[in-house]
Structure 1
Amino acid sequence: MSKETKKYRHYINGEWCDASDGGVIKTLNPTTEVVWAEAPAATVEDVDRAVVAAKSALYRGEWATMTASQRGKMINRLAALIRENAPSLGITETIDSGKLLTETRTQTTYVADYYEYFAGLADKLEGATLPIDKPDMHVYTLREPIGVVAAVVPWNAQMFLTATKLGPALAAGNTVVIKASEDAPAPMFEFAKLVEQAGFPPGVVNVITGHGETCGRTLTSHPDVSRVAFTGGPATASRIIQNTARNFAMVSLELGGKSPIIVFADANIEGAVNGIIAGNFGASGQSCVAGSRVILHESIHDQVVDMLIERAKQVEVGNPLDENTQMGPLATSSQLEHVESIVTRSCEQGASLFHGGARPANQERGYFFEPTILGCPHHDFESVDHELFGPVMSVLKFKDPDQAISIANNTRFGLGAGIFTESLSLSHWASSRIRSGIVYVNTYRVISPIAPFGGYAQSGYGREAGSESLLDYTRTKTVWVNTADRPMSNPFIMR
């Protein structure tokens, strides 16, 4: 471990602390494969301390009595600090996860947008007076915080994926324990410094990291956690559902996908190719909405494939800190091995390797993988069926719109989808028939704090972003007030 190694600490109850047993996690720079930072490995005791701090802040002290508009102002202060520190936050995330600096800097400004959006909604949570058809009864509803929230975020976009959970949770008045990914936790600890600087009371936001079997399991099964917001894979999600079931905690799951991109015969080909490149090679393919099933009309198949191959050859793979780089490394060695093995097995199953399929020859170190294009004559290939989370697309053909939709829906996932066509009626027809939570028409990989984000089937449930996500961090209380001066006429009959 070099002398430049950064050392991070947990942020619990407004204090910085090591793991109770002194355990640490060493994190590698995926570009160099060298340890560059270390963070505490949370124990059961550490997790419990964080949850207890969050529960205490929820019911006692400054946060518990703060008005909604005051909460909004505090969230806005955090947003301003994020915007101010976007360059350094971007560098940290790039070093820790391998994501392009050009994207992490831009995405960090989006993160500020999300907090500003939810800050504006903090004092917009409204109850209602109900016109009950009962004499002498005044009935109204309140929106109250749901409680302590556990936010479990992955390594591929920690700052952004935390904002989609923490923003609405804080706006609604909850307190939060964030579990940062043990593979790339540094951005969240840098973020915790801004939480402290913004003046959030102790215990309102806590940031820890640790291994799933200890930290993650303890947090998601903790009896004082009322809601879990998780982004990750279906296997882990299944365990989280089991953990939360013990305490009847609410859960939202933003999982992965095998999103289809359909290119109809009348599409703007150049625009479609751009969308396909964005959907597969952006973020090195490490995106939950990666459009890794490219479904082309047979009349334009060869033309589009040729253009994709040419574009793939031009992709600059290298150091993500370099402004000219277009694709950095995968985040971990295990992720690289996962992608490599699926590509190998798919080729053994009969897929055609149009381009890529290996580690770049000019990269001696780092978890790099070439932009890869596979030709798949049918759906029964591992690359078509399994989420890779890497820069690999599988190309399929279709004859007519009905077949295109059939191919698109032949998956257990349902997060995103792309449609490229110049026909307005066809775009609406296809959008209504694709079973996914998000559909992009003549574009791909676009976000906004106003637009709900989430999937169907094994891509999870619940929505992040948009006003409806704020309501998911509240619970409704109904209050009945008897305005009559006299007692009930008959206490043994429900009125």
Structure 2
Amino acid sequence: MWPPYGILVRAESSELAIRATSRLHSQDIKQLQCILSVLIHCIGCPKWSYKGVFIRLSFFSLHIFHWNMLRVRSAFYQSWRGFRTFPCAAVEVKNEPILGFNEGSPERAELQKALDDLKGKTEEIPCVVGDEHVWTKDIRYQLSPFNHSHKLAKFCYADKELLNKAILASVAARREWDLKPIQDRAQVLFKAADIISGPKRAEILAKTMIGQGKTVVQAEIDAAAELIDFFRFNAKHAVELESQQPLDSDGSTNTMLYRGLEGFIAAVAPFNFTAIGGNLAGTPALMGNVVLWKPSDTAMSASYAVYNVLRDSGLPTNIIQFVPADGPVFGDTITSSEHLAGINFTGSVPTFKRLWKQVAQNLDVYKNFPRVAGECGGKNFHFVHKSADVQSVVTGTIRSAFEYGGQKCSACSRMYVPDSLWPQIKQGLLDIHKQLKVGDPVEDWSTFFSAVIDDKSFARIKKWLDHAKSSPKLNIIAGGHCNDKKGYFVEPTIIESTDPQEAIMAEEIFGPVLSVYVYPENDYLEVLHLIDNTSPYALTGAVFALDKNVVNEAAKALRNAAGNYYVNDKSTGSIVAQQPFGGARASGTNDKPGGPHYVLRWTSPQVVKATHVPLREWKYSYMG
């Protein structure tokens, strides 16, 4: 029996895809080389290989991936559904390098030009359903957080009628999209990643900086590196997933098909990471689903840029509908539709609970049980043991608590310090605090962080600052002031609490506010228990200790206190494929986007058994 060989050569930039499968004798390498040479000649590639090499050519990069030999039975039994699968054993993808933007660098010049192009301008952003750009009467504006007189974007809210139209159009397009080979769907994300890495990088960074108040480095690690990584690694995981096949038995073969969900996915995105919005919508689409993407009002410009990149990368009409909307209107509409198949959410606990309750109340309406995935923030901790490296604690805490104004889901908001180290750590924090610059990240690149996102966030944080000023249990040792005349600026604030159960030690603030509890150094075991039980959240946390026994004790005590747990490192900075992100308890469903199994959340697998030996006898042998 000659084993089958599969060959796939793809040129992204020309949208050329050539596939061939040939049944060749395993020793007949020359014939296999010939086929490969012909295929590669068609796209002008000087490289060729054999024995299962998957070559992906991009305008920006060349990737060579080893993949499994196609089994004839697999291709045959999947072709009846319109599938041609090319199981991939290993797709080589690396994390996107973070650019430095140093003075005189080409990336800095490109970004500065993009920033200059946006100054004083207002982009018009419609709802997009299919290829139709729709404007409703409900007009809104995205304001720059550090200069709220600048209307960066004008957009409109989709009403219930338009949302239902989008749902029906998506559902009608779902089957054809789901039947496409995963390699075709993955190519959309691979190409989008290359475009963001190249010609669209500066534009998306600039819109993230101005629209969401990020410094250049915070925009770079979000809207470039993380978004690119989400697209590339999820595409990699999706392609490799098809190599995970069940066992065969004598006389029959078994195939696992990774279908999309029957219905539509609602993607509800936050303001604080451009990458999260792209992932919430892009990954379900990758897996054969159709998506209604509700971008955040305060991340509209960057989100629309990402959506346009996906469309320019070959995403068909009606697969992702771009529908800004009022939160309750969107929630009520999607949860009342019989076609709801899932919700992919990042945002507040009250909103997520509301959506979950609405789904529960409408279970009799749906054709399927909807998948509900959510990430809801946290009250993230830094625990410091007396054996900790003081400088590491100080610098790590400054970055974790105050980068992006404490508006990362993973930002450190509470710290527990032994009394023996507190004088050193306190002085270290105060010394750096004096140097932190809060301002306009576009005009002054030495700005450490900028304004908080909007007036609602500013008002919420101000209430906490007022609470700290009036509480006898709290002492503001740095910062504490805020001003919203030009932008929504809040000083980096450090508060010492004499009560570890004080509300400021337990509730999420989502701003540049760090609360500190100083404990007797020998009571660290009690403090670990305190950390585990003080807050309803369990997203991120960090333990600073050089004593290995303490590190082990803390790991056991805090096993359920954080989904992302750091030892001698800050609580922020998770990287796709290195530290998949998410937490449990009130922090969410802990589905770990950025990990290899995240794509499974958005599939509905089907197993196909094909029997090749007809069944002739109804009796079992023992029956005589």
Specify which of 526, 539, 556 is matched with residue 403 of structure 1: 526
Distance in 2 (CA, whole Å) between partners of 1:144 and 1:222 is 21
Counterpart pick for 2:477 among 328, 351, 354:
354
SS of structure 2 residue aligned to 1:7: strand
Change (3 A) 1:267 1:145: same
Matched residue, 1:493? none
For structure 2, the 5+ residue unaligned runs are 1-118, 620-624
Structure 2 counterpart of 1:183, one-letter code = T
Could you say if the C-alpha distance between residues 229 and 488 of structure 1 is closer, same or farther in structure 2, counting changes exceeding 3 Å?
Answer: farther
2:571 is the counterpart of 1:442: no
Q: Which among 161, 167, 171 is matched to residue 286 of structure 2? A: 171
Structure 2 CA distance for aligned equivalents of residues 6 and 454 of structure 1: 33
Is 1:79 matched up with 2:196? no
Which of residues 238, 241, 258 is equivalent to 1:122? 238
CA apart distance, 1:480: 4.5
Q: Matches of 2:417 and 2:346 in 1, distance apart?
A: 30
Which of 324, 345, 350 is the aligned partner of 2:446?
Answer: 324
Pick aligned residue for 1:453 from 554, 559, 581 = 581
Aligned residue type for 2:344: A
Corresponding letter in the other structure for 2:125: Y
User: Could you tell me which residue of structure 2 aligns to residue 112 of structure 1?
Assistant: 228
AA at the equivalent of 2:440: N
TM-score by length of 1: 0.91
Query: Could you tell me which residue of structure 1 aligns to residue 543 of structure 2?
Result: 419
Distance 1:466 1:258 in 2: 23
CA–CA distance in 2 between the matches of 1:39 and 1:349?
A: 42
Shift of 1:33: 1.7
What secondary structure is seen at the aligned counterpart in 2 of 1:39? strand
Corresponding letter in the other structure for 2:436: V
Structure 1 residues 488 and 426: CA distance shift in structure 2, 3 A:
farther
Residue pair 2:270, 2:296 contacting (<8 A) in 1 also: yes
Does the CA contact (< 8 Å) of 1:260 and 1:418 recur in 2? yes
Distance (Å, rounded) in 1 between the aligned partners of 2:498 and 2:299: 37
After superposing on structure 2, the runs of 4+ consecutive aligned residues of structure 1 that deviate more than 6 Å are none
Query: 2:582 is aligned with what amino acid?
Result: G
Following superposition of structure 1 onto structure 2, how do residues 70-219 of structure 1 map, counting pairs within 5 Å?
70-84=184-198, 85-110=200-225, 111-126=227-242, 127-130=244-247, 139-147=254-262, 148-157=264-273, 159-219=274-334
Q: Percent identity?
A: 23
Partner of 1:299 in structure 2?
Answer: 420
Counterparts of 1:272-287 in structure 2 under 5 Å?
272-287=393-408
3-state SS, counterpart of residue 292 of structure 1: strand
Gaps in structure 1 of 5+ consecutive residues: 491-495
**Residue 376 of structure 1 contacts residue 394 of structure 1 at CA under 8 Å; is this kept in 2?**
yes
Alignment match, 2:467: 345
The residue correspondences of 1:39-50 to structure 2 (distance < 5 A) are 39-50=155-166
Matched, 1:270 2:391: yes
Q: Given the alignment, which residue of 475, 482, 488 partners 2:604?
A: 475
> CA offsets per residue over residues 133-163 of structure 1, 9 Å max, x none?
xx97765533221242211011111x21123
- Answer yes or no: is the 8 Å Cα contact 1:150–1:229 preserved in 2: yes
Which whole-Å CA distance do the structure 2 matches of 1:221 and 1:309 have between them? 52
Count of residues in correspondence between the two structures: 481
Deviation at 1:79, TM superposition (A): 0.6
Task: Compare relative contact order (CA 8 Å, sep 6+) and give the higher one, 1 or 2.
Answer: 1
What's the offset of the Cα at 1:364?
4.4
Q: Indicate if the aligned counterparts of 1:11 and 1:192 stay in contact, CA closer than 8 A.
A: no
2: CA distance, partners of 1:346 / 1:357: 9
| Structure 2 SS opposite 1:156 | coil
CA change 1:487–1:458 in 2 (3 A) is farther
Q: How many angstroms does 1:18 deviate by?
A: 1.7
Conserved in 2, the CA contact under 8 Å of 1:11 and 1:208?
yes
What is the SS of the residue equivalent to 1:467? coil
Contact kept in structure 1, 2:269 and 2:280, CA below 8 Å: no
Q: Check the 8 A contact 1:83/1:108 in 2, yes or no.
A: no
Q: Is the 8 A contact 1:12 1:206 kept in 2?
A: yes
Q: Which has the larger radius of gyration?
A: 2
Aligned 8 A contact 1:259 1:290 in 2: yes
Is 1:69–2:183 an aligned residue pair?
A: yes
Three-state SS of the structure 2 residue aligned to 1:33 is: strand
Q: How far off is 1:336 after superposition?
A: 0.7
Instruction: Give deviations 1:102-133, integer Å, cap 9, x for gaps.
Output: 3113322211122111122232123533468x
